């Protein structure tokens, strides 16, 4: 189970965008793409077959997953993630929890 998944609200804890918050758009192995963070400008060639216009476009680039921490809305701070095993309905379920207060993430 990954500690940071698509849709999580995260805070950048290192790098040029330190302190910025955003939602995880994609997880690419050990990198994440965060909405509105690490935005760069790239030159785009026009492609009439795909209907893509040329020009300079701004796009979000991946960040190392170690440079982001999940945002805890209860404490309004960045937090670490732990995994807890919960028993229910005859099955053992793994859930993500905040390390600071032990509350379940996404519940």
pLDDT at residue number 2: 85
Rounded to 5 degrees, what angle do the CA atoms 10, 11, 17 make? 130
Kindly tell me if the per-residue pLDDT of 89 is higher than 90.
no
SS3 of residue 77 by DSSP? strand
Predicted pLDDT at 76:
94
Q: Report phi then psi at 67, rounded to 5.
A: -95, 5
Span 71-84, pLDDT tens digits: 999 999 999 999 99
**Per-residue confidence at 107, pLDDT binned at 50, 70, 90?**
low
Both structure tokens of 2: 């990954």
Q: What is the pLDDT of residues 28-87, one digit of tens each?
A: 999 999 999 999 999 999 999 999 999 999 999 999 999 999 999 999 999 999 999 988
- Please name each of the domains of the chain with its CATH number: 9-98 (2.30.30.30)
pLDDT score, position 1: 66
Per-position DSSP letters for 9-39, written without gaps between them: EEEE-SSTTTT-EEEEEEEETTEEEETTSSE
Q: Is the pLDDT of residue 90 over 90?
A: no
pTM for the full predicted model:
0.83
Strand ranges, E, within the chain: 9-12, 21-28, 31-34, 39-44, 55-60, 63-64, 68-72, 77-79, 81-88, 91-98
Q: How many other C-beta atoms are found inside a 10 Å radius of the C-beta of residue 24? A: 21
């Amino acid at each position: 189970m990954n500690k940071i998944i698509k849709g999580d609200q995260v805070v950048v804890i290192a790098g040029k965008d330190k302190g910025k918050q955003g939602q995880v758009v994609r997880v690419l192995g050990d990198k994440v793409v965060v909405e509105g963070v690490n935005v760069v400008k790239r030159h785009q060639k026009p492609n009439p077959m795909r209907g893509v216009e040329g020009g300079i476009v701004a796009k979000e680039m991946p960040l190392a997953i170690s440079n982001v921490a999940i945002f805890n809305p209860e404490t309004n701070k960045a937090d670490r993630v732990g995994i807890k095993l919960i028993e229910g309905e005859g099955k053992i379920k793994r859930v993500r929890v905040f390390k600071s207060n032990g509350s379940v993430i996404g519940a």
